[in-house]
């Protein structure tokens, strides 16, 4: 079983990017923790990041074509803008779990709408890097 973990724009800057909001863990730290947990559960993690919307669309389609067990996605700011990601998720059968480090509903109004959340199976937000681990736990139960 393989679980894709897709990360959108600016998440490569974790650790130094607005740490008061996103914390000091880097994306590599998070990837490592997820891979450890996945190894214990005997699943494979494919962990990726891109600043480009189209790459995220391609990877969602790839996860579907490859018969992935689930996709966990932190779409970054594309969460709030991307009809392309919404449509990509609608167009595939693999379950998609939306995650966020912060709680977008407790932040600026422009973060309150999620095109991804409207298409996802469910959303986990506001728990920092633990959002990723909780999503993995949910994905394993699917």
Q: Which is nearer to ligand DQA, 3 or 101 (CB)?
A: 101
Half-sphere exposure of 118 (CA within 13 A, CB side): 14
Q: Which is nearer to ligand DQA, 39 or 110 (CB)?
A: 110
Residue 17, annotated as binding a ligand: no
Residue 105, annotated as binding a ligand: no
Residue 12, annotated as binding a ligand: no
Taking Cα atoms as reference points, which of 117, 120, 124 lies closest to residue 138? 124
Active site residue 55: no
CB of 65 to ligand DQA, least distance (A): 25
Residue 4 C-alpha from the chain's centroid = 9
Max Cα distance, the chain (Å): 40
Q: Which is nearer to ligand DQA, 10 or 50 (CB)?
A: 10
Taking Cα atoms as reference points, which of 129, 138, 102 lies closest to residue 21? 102
Residue 114, annotated as binding a ligand: no
- Among 4, 64, 86, 100, the active-site one is 100
Backbone phi and psi for residue 48, each to the nearest 5 degrees, phi listed first? -140, 155
Backbone phi and psi for residue 136, each to the nearest 5 degrees, phi listed first? -65, -45
In the complex, which residues of this chain contact ligand DQA (CB under 6 A)? 10, 74, 76-77, 79, 100-102, 104, 111
CB of 14 to ligand DQA, least distance (A): 9
Active site residue 132: no
Which residues are tagged catalytic? Answer: 22, 100
């Amino acid at each position: 079983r393989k679980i894709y973990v897709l990360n959108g724009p600016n998440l490569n800057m974790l650790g130094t990017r607005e740490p008061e909001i996103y914390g000091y863990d880097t994306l590599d730290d998070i990837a490592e923790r997820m891979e450890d947990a996945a190894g214990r559960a005997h699943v494979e993690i494919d962990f990726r990041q891109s600043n480009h919307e189209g790459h995220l669309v391609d990877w969602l389609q790839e996860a579907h074509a490859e018969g992935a067990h689930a996709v966990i996605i932190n779409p970054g700011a594309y969460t709030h803008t991307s009809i392309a990601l919404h449509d990509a998720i609608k167009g595939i059968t693999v379950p998609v779990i939306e995650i966020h480090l912060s709680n977008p509903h407790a932040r600026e109004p422009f973060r309150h709408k999620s095109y991804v959340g409207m298409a996802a199976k469910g959303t986990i937000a506001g728990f920092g890097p633990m959002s990723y681990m909780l999503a993995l736990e949910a994905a394993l139960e699917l």
